[in-house]
Structure 1
Amino acid sequence: MRLRFILCLPLVLLVGCQSVQTTQGGNVGVNRTQYMMGGLSAEEVNQMADEAYQETLAEAKKQGLLNTNAATVRRLNTIAAELIKEVPNFRADASSWDWEVNLIKDDQLNASCAPGGKILFYSGIIDRLELSDDEIAQIMGHEIAHALREHGREAISRAYVTQMGTQLAGALFGLGEAGNQAAQMAVQYGLTLPNSRSNESEADLIGLELAARAGYNPQAAVSLWQKMQAASQGEPPAFMSTHPSSAGRIQALQAAAPQVQPLYEAAK
């Protein structure tokens, strides 16, 4: 408890911790209060994310890897349009974001939605896992949820706390090099990783509800992560990872599915 106070202290003194409610809780009840670094606006983070996104697209285009499969691009845009219709259930202003969807030909199992609504899929996650539209909607909903919750801005704020808190702890307690390394480990595993896993779990739940509201089967979240689990043998234990283990994820999604099943039935 003392360490956590020390970690937050420099942020309070220098720029202030702002308590933020980025989204409504929805049926899944994601209501955690978030703390953002003062002086760092959502607009600034969105601009930084957009610049990085455009650089990624430019590099892919240069290599002839951007949007090479027209049918898959149409498929992604159709699913995105349905999900975006539902974002006001969590965040009203997100309807006016400059949403964009792109596909990069690459074998990696990855997808993202940058702050501000820039969606990116890699062909490997669709082709290697042979994803259905329902399963794609679960991934896309999850990534959109990260943007709605401003997990990117939260991560930047947390990284600032981590860096400043470690330096302050070393100064206060006269830690040597070994002590500083221990403090860094304590910061990483006591603050950064659990919160990152929390963000992933929040995105799972909000994504599940977004997809259900858009008419995509909640049970696809389970089949998706079963496929991911099969494709990711040898994954690290959940405690040492920024993502929940596939088994833990499947269990949580199975438990949450009944909460959104009526929304799915209504959408159908």
Structure 2
Amino acid sequence: MRRVLGNVLPVVLAAAMVLACQTVQTTGGGAVGVDRAQMMMVSAQEVEQASAKQYQEVLAEARKKNALNRDAATVQRVRRIADRLAAQTGVFRADAPRWNWEVNVLTSNELNAWCMAGGKMVIYTGLIEQLKLTDDEIAAVMGHEIAHALREHARERISKSMATGLGVSVAGALLGVGDAGQSLMGQVAAVTFELPNSRLHETEADRIGVELAARAGYDPRAAVTLWNKMAARSSGAPPQWLSTHPSHSTRQRDLADYAQRVMPLYRPAGGG
């Protein structure tokens, strides 16, 4: 009886994993043509709710450290840029302009920015000040981060992690391996599946980001100058095949290509 149950369990788990997945089209392709279908195992609502709670915790911690929105001029600058970008998100998904967008600035030396599910954004002063970013370059950063939220990349990564974990359990049951074997297979799965997909996410966000910037009246070519600055600050970075991000040279070439593709959409604010 135990042998029968042992043989049936992996099949049941595998079937449950397949049934739990759903294929979704999170965004339209836009002019840049990002239209890959995605497999999800967790609902958008669950991810958005969790993101909103986490975002409030981040802000609360920043307040305690007196690191939240310390420079009114910088906050106003960033929010003005974000508002123009958010107004263009309907090109990729009709619901996005109605999201409860929120943008804050944290005082930190980190060269970082992010956008959670549902449009909860943060940019760090270190990124703006150390790289001396222009408005066009800030738009490149924020357009990229907004693109991650539009494509629901966080939801997709969570789903893939769930699927990989369940898959490892099934494989472990089938092969009769212990914890060490499952751990090794988990590492193999991460290198094989998670790293390439993470690079794909970055490329999708780059391409959507330049289109958002162009449509919002920011020069999409600023994405190239931005990553030139990043490359100068990232000497000694790991090669592309060991990184979750594309190499700087690969990224620069792709950004330059797609920036040129969306130039017909670019109308400088106040210009002709």
TM-score, normalised on structure 1? 0.92
- Whichever residue aligns with residue 22 of structure 1, its letter is T
Instruction: Give identity over the alignment, percent.
Output: 53
- Whichever residue aligns with residue 125 of structure 1, its letter is L
- Whichever residue aligns with residue 188 of structure 1, its letter is A
Which runs of 5 or more structure 2 residues have no equivalent in the other structure? 1-9
- Whichever residue aligns with residue 245 of structure 1, its letter is S
CA gap of 1:70–1:251, structure 2 versus 1, over 3 A, is same
| Equivalent in 184, 188, 205 of residue 186 of structure 1 | 188
Residue of structure 1 equivalent to 2:63: 61
Q: Deviations over 1:131-190 (max 9, x none)?
A: 000000000000000111111111110110121111211221223555334312220111
State the distance in 2 between where 1:132 and 1:41 align.
37
Q: Deviations over 1:184-206 (max 9, x none)?
A: 22201111111111111100000
Residue of structure 2 equivalent to 1:28: 32
CA gap of 1:186–1:139, structure 2 versus 1, over 3 A, is same
Give the CA deviation at 1:16.
Answer: 2.1
Rg comparison, structure with higher value: 2
Counterpart check, 1:168 vs 2:166: no
Give aligned pairs, total.
259
State the distance in 1 between where 2:33 and 2:70 align.
39
Structure 1 residues 37-116: aligned runs within 5 Å: 37=41, 40-116=42-118
Which runs of 5 or more structure 1 residues have no equivalent in the other structure? 1-6
Worse-matched range after superposition: 120-129 or 229-238? 229-238
Give the CA deviation at 1:265.
Answer: 3.8
Give the CA deviation at 1:10.
Answer: 4.5
Contact 2:104 2:121 in 1 (8 A): yes
Contact 2:221 2:260 in 1 (8 A): no
State the distance in 2 between where 1:70 and 1:104 align.
12
Give the CA deviation at 1:243.
Answer: 1.1
- Whichever residue aligns with residue 113 of structure 1, its letter is C
Counterpart check, 1:226 vs 2:235: no
